[in-house]
């Protein structure tokens, strides 16, 4: 087989660029480079991850090192055009596949809730970058790297795309790996990067379709203008996005109740996505927008999404993306490096950064973020990756700039991508510090503010209560961010050491019983379809109470959750009695209460309640199986009538705040019971009645030095009770027996009672309740009285513990 090595000095080097047998050499080169890059990138990341650097930085640096080894010249001679032939197809395919996963993983509810902010940031940075490119292009005409260009209009248009574009795949990868997408600002940056990339893709398509760019083009079919191909590509993409949901829904129905779909269904899905995206590229357009749209339109619930994610994520993250980012560095030609190339490359990076920074700073006031944060986001939005170098042939063939300028652009793309790592690490540190120092409590949030939750469950039997509670907290399901659901399950000890878990799953299904993960999948799929809330299930093998609590608390911190919902250790038996079946559950509750970075809610679920409705079915299904109830303040019908118990203290304020969140749901009727000692009744109520008579203007003066509980209850009365969203009842008690009698009398009246854990409640009300305080040391005396009631008429109980910020001095 002929080789393309320059072993004979008499051979003209111009002939060595095209040799028929060079494809096999290139394939061998790519395999060697991929192996070297993967191992070197992992070694570098062991050091860089200590500084919160994303793996993309390690992979790019590994590509620079591998590219400098000279493998490209030792195996096969390639110039800049051959580099595009060798890497271009792989880069395009990697972008298409990964952007489908990005679309599949996007939190659509959170994006709908912040659409205006995302569009504002994207438009501001695009407009500023276009303005900068238009200004500098006039001074570069006729002298773009010492090579005259065809027209100033073409140079300006190409430079605008180069400075404006953002590598959405790089930003999505960096943000996803550093877990920036859980915060509102992190999602803002990712969405702005995607919007910017899509704008530039459309602009590039329009530029290549104009008569100016089509002059003497060889790849156009006779009688088939490129503009007609654009309409054809748009029509195919629209039909594919429109039909993807019905097609996947049919596949899910055929595989209902399964953890994964059949192999042929998976192959059908992947081939369909690949064919549609490749058809766009065959017509001469970028297939990335179509693959992103297909991923966004793909149904999240059901076994199809799980199967596609499980099949694509490991090879994409382990092989495809490392080599994708490494090719940014491997494109460098060290023999051509000089100041005439490095300086323009740095200049292109600086110009792009200036445009992004001006736009982000201009939009910071509208986005309500500090200018310093906006400047950090501008560095991430200036990441270029491969987006500029993908159209190098077009720019070179049209005479936009010389070959040296293309090398300068590679340098600029490399610099912009590498410096994004420290910027992302700075954003990550800021987000973590802000989360840890903020009061993560429901009381601190307004009714319109986003409540991020994390739910935990031990199995499919206990999951409906938690999921129903989450549904009631969501007023607009299509705008609610994804709710992480941590499923803790145990692997059979007799086989866990010998048989892999995926094989155990198949064996259990063959015996007629689905495994724990599949059972949970069924419950989550039902609730997702019925409620519209997207639950992101995370399966965790239970390794003991301490480790499980650490996983739950770390997950809450990673998700920036303001509330963690955990099943209580008290479980209802078939006869209605409440008991602690597993001591590990009790230890888990204690560990979570002690270590949680936010408010904790322990749900004492009663799935066998006789009267009324229980938290076992979604709201859309509950009216069919439960009786119709009347709202306590009006004549409208509701599905659940709940109560909140208030004695005093931060935990009780958190319980009432949580109940008020539930009261915003039209299917909920709320009654708040406040217990007051008769000896202190006149003192407690006098200040509140005077403030009510004086009006809202004197509220702050009246309570400036008053009790926090009184101010909180006044706000509750003003915002909820006066608007007939909730009923306020004061119970005057004289002895502990009155408290116990009132609490036990709630049986049959309410499907849920929300109470504070206690520990910081008024002493006069806690006197005489020591027996219940000792028995329920983890849930408090009030919750213990409610949870230990063995009547089948008693509803579920939710025990709330408010988060406390630990104020520790920082050393300078």
| Choice between 781 and 223, residue whose per-residue pLDDT is larger | 781
Tens of pLDDT, residue by residue over 227-243, are 777 788 889 988 999 99
276-281 mean pLDDT: 84
Q: What is the pLDDT of residue 553?
A: 92
* CA nearest neighbour of 443 among 214, 658, 727: 658
> What distance in Å separates the CA atoms of residue 556 and residue 559, rounded to the nearest whole number?
5
Tens of pLDDT, residue by residue over 9-38, are 333 433 333 434 445 666 777 788 888 889
Residue 384's SS3 state is: coil
> What distance in Å separates the CA atoms of residue 596 and residue 575, rounded to the nearest whole number?
33
| Choice between 632 and 11, residue whose per-residue pLDDT is larger | 632
Q: What is the pLDDT of residue 150?
A: 58
Q: What is the pLDDT of residue 798?
A: 92
Q: What is the pLDDT of residue 496?
A: 45
Q: Is the pLDDT of residue 373 over 80?
A: yes
Q: What is the pLDDT of residue 7?
A: 35
> What distance in Å separates the CA atoms of residue 470 and residue 325, rounded to the nearest whole number?
39
Q: Is the pLDDT of residue 61 over 50?
A: yes
Dihedral sign (CA 275, 278, 280, 284)? negative
| Choice between 253 and 144, residue whose per-residue pLDDT is larger | 253
> What distance in Å separates the CA atoms of residue 798 and residue 469, rounded to the nearest whole number?
10
Q: What is the pLDDT of residue 315?
A: 92
Q: What is the pLDDT of residue 764?
A: 66
Instruction: Please state at what angle helix 115-140 crosses helix 184-209, rounded to 10 degrees.
Output: 50
Residue 652 is given by DSSP the state: H
Q: What is the largest CA-CA distance in the chain?
A: 110
Phi and psi torsions of 562, nearest 5°: -100, -10
| Choice between 31 and 430, residue whose per-residue pLDDT is larger | 430
Task: Map 437-455 to HEC letters.
Answer: HCCCCHHHCCCCCCCCEEE
Q: How confident is the model at residue 313 (pLDDT cuts 50, 70, 90)?
A: very high
Q: How confident is the model at residue 700 (pLDDT cuts 50, 70, 90)?
A: very low
Domain residue spans of the chain? 24-212+226-434, 442-492+516-690+706-801
Q: Is the pLDDT of residue 80 over 70?
A: no
Q: With contact defined as beta carbons under 8 Å apart, do 786 and 753 qualify?
A: yes
Dihedral of the CA atoms 437, 591, 486, 258 (nearest 10)?
A: 180
Q: What is the pLDDT of residue 446?
A: 78
Fold of the CATH domain 442-492+516-690+706-801: Rossmann fold (3.40.50)
Q: What is the pLDDT of residue 776?
A: 64
Q: How confident is the model at residue 213 (pLDDT cuts 50, 70, 90)?
A: very low
Options 3.30.450.70, 1.20.1530.20, 1.10.150.20, 3.30.420.40; CATH for 24-212+226-434 is: 1.20.1530.20
483-511 mean pLDDT: 62
Q: How confident is the model at residue 193 (pLDDT cuts 50, 70, 90)?
A: very high
DSSP E strands in 681-745: the ranges are: 726-733
Tokens of 187: 């999602």
Of 61-75, 290-304, 745-759, 784-798, the one with minimum mean pLDDT is 61-75
User: Which of 14-23, 64-73, 123-132, 621-630 has the largest mean confidence?
Assistant: 123-132
Q: Is the pLDDT of residue 123 over 90?
A: yes
Q: What is the pLDDT of residue 329?
A: 80
| Choice between 71 and 780, residue whose per-residue pLDDT is larger | 780
201-220 mean pLDDT: 60
* CA nearest neighbour of 432 among 535, 556, 587: 556
> What distance in Å separates the CA atoms of residue 389 and residue 399, rounded to the nearest whole number?
15
> What distance in Å separates the CA atoms of residue 62 and residue 53, rounded to the nearest whole number?
14
> What distance in Å separates the CA atoms of residue 212 and residue 344, rounded to the nearest whole number?
26
User: CB neighbours (10 Å) of residue 807?
Assistant: 6
Averaged confidence pLDDT in the chain: 78
| Choice between 738 and 699, residue whose per-residue pLDDT is larger | 738
Q: Is the pLDDT of residue 485 over 90?
A: yes
User: Which of 152-156, 319-323, 575-579, 785-789 has the largest mean confidence?
Assistant: 319-323
Of 215-224, 350-359, 474-483, the one with minimum mean pLDDT is 215-224
Q: Is the pLDDT of residue 514 over 80?
A: no
């Amino acid at each position: 087989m002929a080789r393309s090595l320059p072993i004979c000095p008499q051979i003209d080097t111009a002939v060595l660029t095209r040799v028929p047998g060079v494809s096999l050499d290139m394939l061998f080169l790519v395999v060697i480079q991929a192996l070297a890059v993967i191992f070197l990138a992992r070694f570098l990341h062991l050091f860089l991850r200590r500084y919160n650097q994303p793996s993309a930085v390690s992979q790019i640096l590994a590509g620079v090192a591998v590219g400098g080894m000279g493998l490209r010249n030792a195996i096969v001679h390639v110039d800049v055009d051959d580099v595009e032939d060798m890497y271009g197809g792989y880069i395009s395919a990697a972008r298409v596949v990964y952007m489908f996963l990005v679309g599949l993983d996007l939190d659509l509810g959170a994006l709908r809730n912040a659409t205006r902010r995302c569009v504002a940031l994207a438009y501001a940075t695009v407009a500023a970058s276009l303005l900068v490119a238009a200004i500098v292009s006039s001074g570069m005409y006729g002298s773009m790297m010492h090579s005259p260009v065809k027209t100033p209009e073409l140079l300006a248009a190409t430079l605008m795309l180069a400075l404006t574009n953002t590598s959405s795949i790089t930003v999505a990868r960096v943000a996803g790996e550093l877990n920036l997408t859980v915060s509102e600002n992190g999602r803002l940056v990712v969405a702005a990067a995607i919007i910017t990339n899509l704008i530039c893709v459309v602009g590039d398509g329009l530029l290549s379709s104009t008569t100016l760019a089509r002059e003497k083009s060889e790849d156009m079919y006779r009688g088939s203008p490129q503009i007609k191909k654009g309409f054809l590509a748009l029509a195919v993409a629209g039909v594919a996005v429109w039909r993807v949901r019905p097609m996947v829904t049919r596949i899910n129905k055929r595989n209902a109740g399964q953890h994964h779909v059949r192999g042929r269904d998976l192959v059908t899905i992947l081939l369909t996505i690949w064919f549609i995206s490749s058809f766009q590229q065959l017509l001469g357009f970028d297939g990335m927008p179509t693959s992103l749209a297909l991923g966004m339109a793909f149904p999240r619930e059901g076994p199809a999404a799980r199967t596609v994610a499980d099949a694509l994520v490991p090879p994409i993250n382990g092989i495809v993306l490392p080599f994708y980012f490494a090719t940014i560095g491997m494109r460098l030609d060290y023999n051509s490096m000089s100041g005439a190339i490095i300086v323009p490359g740095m200049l292109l990076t600086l110009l792009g950064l200036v445009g992004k920074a001006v736009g982000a700073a201009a939009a910071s006031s509208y986005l309500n973020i500090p200018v310093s944060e906006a400047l950090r986001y501008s560095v991430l939005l200036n990441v270029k990756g491969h987006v500029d170098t993908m159209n190098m042939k077009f720019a070179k063939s049209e005479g936009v700039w010389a070959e040296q300028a293309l090398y300068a652009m590679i340098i600029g793309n490399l610099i912009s991508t590498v410096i994004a790592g420290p910027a992302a690490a700075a954003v990550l540190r800021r987000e973590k510090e802000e989360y840890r120092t903020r009061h993560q409590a429901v009381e601190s949030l307004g009714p319109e503010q986003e409540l991020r939750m994390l739910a935990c469950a031990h199995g499919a039997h206990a999951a409906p209560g938690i999921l129903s509670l989450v549904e009631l907290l969501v007023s607009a399901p299509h705008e609610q961010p994804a709710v992480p659901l941590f499923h803790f399950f145990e692997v059979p000890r007799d086989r866990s050491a010998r048989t892999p878990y995926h094989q155990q799953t198949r064996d259990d299904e063959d015996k007629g019983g689905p495994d724990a993960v599949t059972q949970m999948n069924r419950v989550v799929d039902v609730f997702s379809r019925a409620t519209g809330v997207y639950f992101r299930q995370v399966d965790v093998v239970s390794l003991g109470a301490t480790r499980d609590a650490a996983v739950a608390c770390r997950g809450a911190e990673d998700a920036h959750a303001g509330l963690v919902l955990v099943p209580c250790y008290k479980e209802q038996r078939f006869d209605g009695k409440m008991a602690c079946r597993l001591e590990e559950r009790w230890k888990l509750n204690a560990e979570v209460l002690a270590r949680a970075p936010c408010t904790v809610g322990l749900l004492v679920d009663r799935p066998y309640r006789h009267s009324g409705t229980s938290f076992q079915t979604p709201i859309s299904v509950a009216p069919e199986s439960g009786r119709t109830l009347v709202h306590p303040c009006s004549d409208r019908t509701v599905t659940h009538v709940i109560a909140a118990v208030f004695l005093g203290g931060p935990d009780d304020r958190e319980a009432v705040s949580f109940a008020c969140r539930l009261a915003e749901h039209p299917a909920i009727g709320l009654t708040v019971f406040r217990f007051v000692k008769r000896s202190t009744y006149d003192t407690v109520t006098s200040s509140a009645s005077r403030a009510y008579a004086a009006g809202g203007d004197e509220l702050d003066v009246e309570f400036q030095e008053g009790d926090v509980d009184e101010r909180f209850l006044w706000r509750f009365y003003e915002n909820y009770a006066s608007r007939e969203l909730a009923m306020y009842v004061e119970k005057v008690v004289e002895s502990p027996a009155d408290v116990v009698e009132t609490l036990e009398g709630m049986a049959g009246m309410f499907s849920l009672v929300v109470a504070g854990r206690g520990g910081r409640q008024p002493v006069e009300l806690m006197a005489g309740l020591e027996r219940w305080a000792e028995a329920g040391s983890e849930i408090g005396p009030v919750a213990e009285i409610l949870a230990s009631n063995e009547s089948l008429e008693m509803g579920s109980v939710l025990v709330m513990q408010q988060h406390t910020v630990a104020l520790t001095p920082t050393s300078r």
